Structure 1
Amino acid sequence: MQNQIDRLIQACRKGNQVAQIQVYDKYAQAMFTIACRYLKNEEEAKDIMQEGFLKAFINIESYRPESTFGAWLKRIIINQCLDVLKKRRLEFSDLEVESLNSIEDDNWQFESSISKQEILNAIEQLNQRHKIVVQLYLIEGYDHQEISEILNIPVKTSRTHLSRGKAKLRDLLKPRYNEERY
């Protein structure tokens, strides 16, 4: 499987449009899903996905196999989405983080009776700054250093947004916890 992808990438580097279509077909649905997580408008998500693929094919020479092609492409798509959100004047502030003590809490366990969809729905209810950091950390798997670079914010701000987002998620899911205990 990986050899096939490597061959397709090599062909894409040579400008082979058939290979580009095959790469697009292989990754389009996953990249569309990612774009939809950030942009709630499906048409806008499709446009961003298309732009992301174009950017990837134009810059395919910069792809290095230290990471998978899918991970590289995913980062391009997420950055495209974040650019759109930034144009909408979404600003990440430092939230006076210098005076805050961020607690590193890697426990993201949820009550087993709470479905993944319920968690995703709760994430949607977070304010935009917290939601994006929670998505990048929890769903996309980026660490605070990577989030800091992607969003151009201090690492401490990333930790603070994550901590606050997590606390809000607990509050949003609390009625569900209590419901299950009766």
Structure 2
Amino acid sequence: MQGNRKAQLKLYDLYADAMYSVTCRYIQNREDAKDVMQEGFLKAFTRLQQYKGEVAFGAWLKRIIINQCIDTLKKRSLVYEEMNEQTLTIIDDDATWEVHSDISKQEIIQVIDTLPDTYKYVVKLYLIEGYDHQEISEILNIPVRTSRTQLMRGKTKLKNILNDHFKHKIS
């Protein structure tokens, strides 16, 4: 299919809306998001021979698009704080993850976007995209332990912001 413009156009038409939505979760400016999505599609089209059919094509493409977003953000000086062993106290206790039921999914996503970048992208990749820590580690080029720590800290910060927001919302 590489080089077959009609087939590429069909793939683009089939996946463009979904990939644009994914891109917009990382790139806030809509025009920039379109550019990043286009770059991701170009990268995918040049790598079509690497697609082995082990996962759905949409999942393979989504990974490329997310990597393109992350690469773009890194170029904008996204820096991850390297964690050392003393810093690593992982308590990934989802039992403590409770926010008020009146808080909408959209409000949660808006609050995630306000998190510091070092937390925001790990939280998005884990909670929204469904990647595990090994995959996040590969996508962001960070150690797995850093992914775990950033997720724990990001979720804690997210929970605190949401709970504070809800208190003000009903006051």
Instruction: Give TM-score, length-normalised by structure 1.
Output: 0.86
Q: Work out whether 1:91 is the aligned partner of 2:79.
A: yes
The residue number in structure 1 matching 2:144 is: 155
Seen in structure 2, the aligned counterparts of structure 1 residues 46 and 97 have a Cα distance that, compared at 3 Å, is farther
Structure 1: segments with no counterpart, 5+ residues? 1-11
The residue number in structure 2 matching 1:65 is: 53
Most deviating of 99-108 and 69-78: 99-108
Structure with the bigger RCO (C-alpha within 8 Å, sep 6+) is: 2
Q: Work out whether 1:79 is the aligned partner of 2:67.
A: yes
1:64, 1:101 → 2: CA distance?
Answer: 38
Structural RMSD (CA) = 1.8
The answer on whether the counterparts of 1:97 and 1:160 sit within 8 Å (CA) in structure 2 is: no
1:110, 1:174 → 2: CA distance?
Answer: 6
The residue number in structure 1 matching 2:4 is: 16
The answer on whether the counterparts of 1:24 and 1:53 sit within 8 Å (CA) in structure 2 is: yes
1:36 deviation in Å? 1.1
The residue number in structure 2 matching 1:139 is: 128
Q: What SS class does the counterpart of residue 64 from structure 1 fall into?
A: coil
The residue number in structure 2 matching 1:46 is: 34
Instruction: Read off the aligned partner of 2:16 and give its amino acid letter.
Output: A
Aligned residue pair count: 170
Structure 2: segments with no counterpart, 5+ residues? none
C-alpha distance after superposition, 1:18-37 (max 9, x if no partner): 12111101110111111111
Instruction: Give TM-score, length-normalised by structure 2.
Output: 0.91
1:140, 1:53 → 2: CA distance?
Answer: 19
1:52, 1:70 → 2: CA distance?
Answer: 13
1:38 deviation in Å? 0.8
The residue number in structure 2 matching 1:5 is: none
Identity over aligned pairs, percent: 56
